[in-house]
Amino acid sequence: MIVLGIHAGHDSSAAIIIDGKIIADVQEERFSRNKHSNNVPLKSIEYCLKKAKICNINDVNKISFSWKSNPKGLNTVFGLKRKYSKKEEIAIEIAKTFFGKSLGMSNQKLPIYYPDYTKIGNNKFINNNHHLVHAASAYYTRKSNDKCLIFTIDGAGDNICTAIWLGEGNEIKLLKKYYKEAAIGWAYGIVTEGLHWIHGDGEGKTMGLAPYGDSTKCKGVLDKFFPIFKDDKLVKESKLGDSFYWSENGSTQFHFDEAKEVEKLIGKYSRESIAAEAQRKLEENVINLVFGWIKKTGIKKVVFAGGIMLNVKLNQRIWNNRENLIEEQHIYPNPGDSGLAVGAALLEYYRHNKFNGFNLDNLYLGPEYTNEEIEKILKIRKLNYQFIDNPSKKAAKLLAENKIVAWFQGRMESGPRALGNRSILMSPLKAENKDTINAWVKFREGFRPFCPSLLYEKRNDYLDDCRDEFFMITSFDVKKNKRNAIPAVVHVDGTVRPQMVNKETNPLYWELINEFGKLTGEYIVLNTSFNVMGEPIINNPKEAIRCFYDSGIDALFVGNYLLEK
């Protein structure tokens, strides 16, 4: 069975599944180069079909969407009629009567140089609730099918901000849903906007800034925006006004007037302390909600999705407070909207097939390039390069010499984290390396932390109370005897957001870290995404070369080829 999953909206994406295996998963931003692109993911769809060796889209059994009603552009691409509510139908009829046409119903049509997807049978298209798709991305990527609670928390989708689900066997059942009255994600986004960062993009900055502040100096000043949960009950609702949006460069941002109130609070209490209070309120809310439902139901296995679950400090707090209440904590590693394509595909696939658990061991699901393709690009650009038989060993040597190394290998990662195939690397042994990467390569704020990649076998040498974490989705405390040994990747609060690297999953990257360990005694490297601030992660060799020469990177490994400055 072949299922194509499509999300059109913030972080548009496409994914394809064949007989339960994810063949490809990619965000449209990687092709358009517009971060968080909300375009119809035509390039992503094209890539997925090509990777699955499908020449005719009619060979796909089902096409599963991430919304109850499709965006207009998606309907145009597939020749579908939009489904209207009763109120919308009345408005359309009034518009026809007085203006002779339906408002907003311009004659949109795809140019002939795009693929024609309009001749697909309507019985192949499936619409789904946005949050149900989030729930599916988390539930159907866990290792078992036994009973669990599923929590989906994001900005908003299909009139849901926060939802709790029961997963068991093949079924996902809604237990409780909330809209603006429990807008946890929106509240955190309002603070992000008040800090003058993009709502729906800069929340990671808010999280990174929070440990530098003191929430006790402004405790309670953000209470208006956040809901309050006591056990499983919502005891105080969020107090938010209307939401607004702004579209720019193919990406849509949401905004609230309350951000102006946050801006004033920042002037009174400081950016750092307001960020700290926002993080405190977020953690307090979600922890009360999660543990309240665990106590209510007695279910000790919990899984998570939705953009809020990109907050690694929140995920750590849940883990650290588990005591005897949590036996399993699974977070889909691409939990934001870019993970909805996989969720939509899995949801439809398991409507027809038995779910027995899923082994999600990697996210290397994007495009890759052969050495022949890479060398052709290098030759056309008349660049000086050399072929390296063992790029892992050579890269480790350069890192040990404190060089900045760009690492472009294999298939591009899905989701927002670089996991060793589209990465910029540096030694973690010198504290000043964090500032060097921020200033010379990423061109971003100096407080921003960096993550480590470490050998899976060495995880307990560096981390306290950790579980297996291959996708940088949870932070952990660093052992005290190691904090001064790897200062460039330890955040100010003594934590790291690690990627544990398995030899079986990524042998080339594992070997690089292992060789670095042989040279330095530390089997861990600083790893950040191969891009500069404000741009999507690098997709192809052309972009890798451009980023290399437009930043302070010392060496670029692309396949077996090495470029040095």
Question: Is 130 strand, coil or helix?
Answer: helix
363 pLDDT above the threshold of 90: yes
92-146 tens-digit pLDDT: 667 666 666 555 545 788 899 999 999 998 899 999 999 999 999 999 999 999 9
Domain count, the chain: 3
Same domain for 325 and 403? no
In a domain, 56, yes or no: yes
In a domain, 356, yes or no: no
CATH code where residue 229 lies: 3.30.420.40
In a domain, 62, yes or no: yes
291 pLDDT above the threshold of 90: yes
Domain termination residue (choose one: 100, 130, 160): 130
Domain termination residue (choose one: 81, 109, 130): 130
In a domain, 459, yes or no: yes
CATH code where residue 68 lies: 3.30.420
Query: Mean pLDDT in the chain?
Result: 95
CA distance 217 to 414: 39
In a domain, 27, yes or no: yes
DSSP state of 220: T
- At 95 the pLDDT is 65
CB atoms within 10 A of CB 268: 11
Same domain for 125 and 180? no
CA distance 349 to 3: 7
User: 366 versus 246: which is more confidently predicted?
Assistant: 366
Residues 6+ apart with CB under 8 A from 6: 13, 14, 41, 45, 63, 64, 65, 66, 74, 341, 344
pLDDT band, residue 87 (cuts 50/70/90): confident
86 pLDDT above the threshold of 90: no
Same domain for 313 and 199? yes
Comparing 69-78, 149-158, 247-256, 403-412, the range with the smallest average pLDDT is 247-256
Comparing 62-66, 87-91, 502-506, 553-557, the range with the smallest average pLDDT is 87-91
Rg (CA), the chain: 24
Residue (of 107, 43, 30) closest to 75 by Cα position: 107
pLDDT band, residue 254 (cuts 50/70/90): confident
Q: 50: which 2 tokens?
A: 């090509």
Residue (of 201, 211, 160, 164) closest to 181 by Cα position: 160
In a domain, 336, yes or no: no
CATH code where residue 489 lies: 3.90.870.20
- At 250 the pLDDT is 83
Same domain for 146 and 102? no
180-216 tens-digit pLDDT: 999 999 999 999 999 999 999 999 999 999 999 999 9
In a domain, 483, yes or no: yes
Same domain for 456 and 529? yes
Taking residues 146-168, report their average pLDDT: 97
In sequence order, what are the beta bridge partners of 19?
A: none
Residue (of 132, 203, 136) closest to 163 by Cα position: 132
State the alpha helices, DSSP H only, in 381-529.
391-400, 432-437, 459-462, 480-483, 507-520
89 pLDDT above the threshold of 70: no
For residue 288, the enclosing domain spans 142-331
Same domain for 188 and 81? no
pLDDT band, residue 81 (cuts 50/70/90): confident
In a domain, 135, yes or no: no
Same domain for 151 and 209? yes
459-473 tens-digit pLDDT: 999 999 999 999 999
Domain termination residue (choose one: 78, 110, 130): 130
400-454 tens-digit pLDDT: 999 999 999 999 999 999 999 999 999 999 999 999 999 999 999 999 999 999 9
Same domain for 167 and 116? no
Same domain for 380 and 478? yes
Same domain for 261 and 227? yes
CA distance 441 to 406: 10
Burial-class residue 463 by CB neighbours within 10 Å (0-12, 13-18, 19+).
buried
- At 104 the pLDDT is 52
Q: What are phi and psi of 330, to 5 degrees?
A: -115, 125
CA distance 257 to 132: 29
CA distance 73 to 92: 19
Residue (of 6, 301, 332) closest to 137 by Cα position: 332
pTM: 0.95
Same domain for 209 and 300? yes
Same domain for 458 and 419? yes
Residue (of 115, 155, 113, 120) closest to 134 by Cα position: 155
